Amino acid sequence: MIEILNSKHSIKQTAKLTIDTESQAISNLSNLITDDFADAVQLIYNSKGRVIITGIGKSAIIANKIVATLNSTGTPSVFMHAADAIHGDLGLILKDDVVICISKSGNTPEIKVLVPLIKSANNKMIAITGNKDSFLGQQVDYVLNAYVEKEACPNNLAPTTSTTAQLVIGDALAVCLLELRGFSSNDFAKYHPGGALGKKLYLRVQDISSVNQKPKVLPSTSIKDVIIEISEKMLGVTAVVEDNKIIGIITDGDLRRMLSKVDDFSSLTAKDIMSANPKRINADAMAIKGLEVMEENGISQLLVEENGNYAGVIHLHDLIKEGII
């Protein structure tokens, strides 16, 4: 048992040391941001071409992630593996493209072969490297310094802290470009139409309410018919309308409270038990806004209006089904 406890303690200590090592290195990156970084951002922003990002080994994996981030935030980008580049993939690079080379050492054989070939085509080059005095650092137009003092690996060999630093530099590039482009949440939605994230950005209340049933009663409707309407429409609620304007709401909860107070409801009408001036939302509002209104008011259903008229209901379960929650 003692050995198990010691083992758990050792594991947790190693994990904490890894995190501390990497967080300190990342914190230091802000001290390495120079005019080269700003110039590189402006170069990409003003370019008529794409961003081609290349690397080898773990740096190639980081390059792929940066490409994905740039593409999703409005900067067209393409990954090119450094080893494949010198065997035909150099054809990916077009005249106006900007090339970013990622390499911790900046002195790998592939980089030494690749860089002169790219330079001969007169493409602008940016380096993300931990060694600004390396072959790569000396050959490119701009150097983005990703220096780290040591890897989190106890042997100081496995790329850990260095690849995290490369990733952070890439994120910084993407965010700077995003701000320069005035990239909005609506723009973001265009690039992320799938999944819960996309739905939060583009799904509107009317997209949900239009496929739901539309329970409604008049103020004079009998309680029996109110119960039938709520049961048949299966949303646990009905709107009380007059001239198609919302004047109230009746929920399952309202019916239960009524039954606990009266023995005979045969003479009661919808107007007698409804909650007046219920919470409502416009049909063209974002569905995520509907969720916010529900959470703020502790309710599960929300009446929908369109041009001031009753237009339907959205239920908390609808939002769960759509993956908004």
Q: Is 9 annotated as a binding residue?
A: no
Residues in Cβ contact with 161 at an 8 Å cutoff, skipping those fewer than 6 apart: 21, 22, 25, 148, 150, 151, 152
Q: Which two tokens stand for residue 68?
A: 């994905």
Q: Mean of the pLDDT values across residues 26-49?
A: 96
| C-alpha span between 166 and 161 (Å, rounded) | 9
The amino acid occupying position 3 is E
| C-alpha span between 137 and 144 (Å, rounded) | 9
Residues in Cβ contact with 131 at an 8 Å cutoff, skipping those fewer than 6 apart: 104, 105, 106, 107, 137, 147
Helices (H), 122-194: 135-139, 161-181, 185-191
Q: Which two tokens stand for residue 125?
A: 């080059």
Which range, of 66-80, 113-127, 177-191, 281-295, averages the lowest pLDDT?
177-191
Which option is the CATH number for 2-183: 3.20.20.70, 3.40.630.10, 3.30.1490.20, 3.40.50.10490? 3.40.50.10490
| C-alpha span between 32 and 38 (Å, rounded) | 12
| C-alpha span between 190 and 89 (Å, rounded) | 30
pLDDT score of 193 more than 60: no
At residue 72, the pLDDT reads 85
At residue 300, the pLDDT reads 86
- Burial letters for 40-51: b for 16+ Cβ neighbours within 10 Å, e otherwise? bbebbeebebbb
Where does the chain hold its CATH 3.10.580.10 domain(s)?
205-321
Q: How many CA atoms lie within 13 A of 321 on its CB side?
A: 8
Where does the chain hold its CATH 3.40.50.10490 domain(s)?
2-183
pLDDT score of 167 more than 70: yes
| C-alpha span between 91 and 38 (Å, rounded) | 28
Cβ atoms of 143 and 36 closer than 8 Å:
yes
Rounded CA Rg of the chain: 30
pTM: 0.66
Q: Mean of the pLDDT values across residues 311-323?
A: 85
Given strand 280-282, what is the order of strands in its sheet? 280-282, 301-306, 309-315
Nearest Cα neighbor of 206 from 292, 321, 303 is 303
At residue 91, the pLDDT reads 86
% of the chain surpassing 70 pLDDT? 92
Q: Which two tokens stand for residue 66?
A: 């940066």
At residue 325, the pLDDT reads 64
Nearest-10 Cα torsion for 159, 57, 97, 198: -70
| C-alpha span between 6 and 235 (Å, rounded) | 55
| C-alpha span between 317 and 73 (Å, rounded) | 31
% of the chain surpassing 90 pLDDT? 59
Domain 205-321: give its CATH code.
3.10.580.10
φ/ψ of 24, rounded to 5, equals -65, -40
At residue 221, the pLDDT reads 93
The Cβ of residue 85 has, within 10 Å, a number of other Cβ atoms equal to: 23
Q: Mean of the pLDDT values across residues 252-256?
A: 88
Q: Which two tokens stand for residue 216?
A: 């409604």
Interhelix angle 58-72/161-181, nearest 10 degrees: 20
In this structure, are strands 98-103 and 142-145 parallel, antiparallel, or unpaired? unpaired
Measured between alpha carbons, how far apart are the two ends of the chain, in Å?
A: 42
The Cβ of residue 194 has, within 10 Å, a number of other Cβ atoms equal to: 7
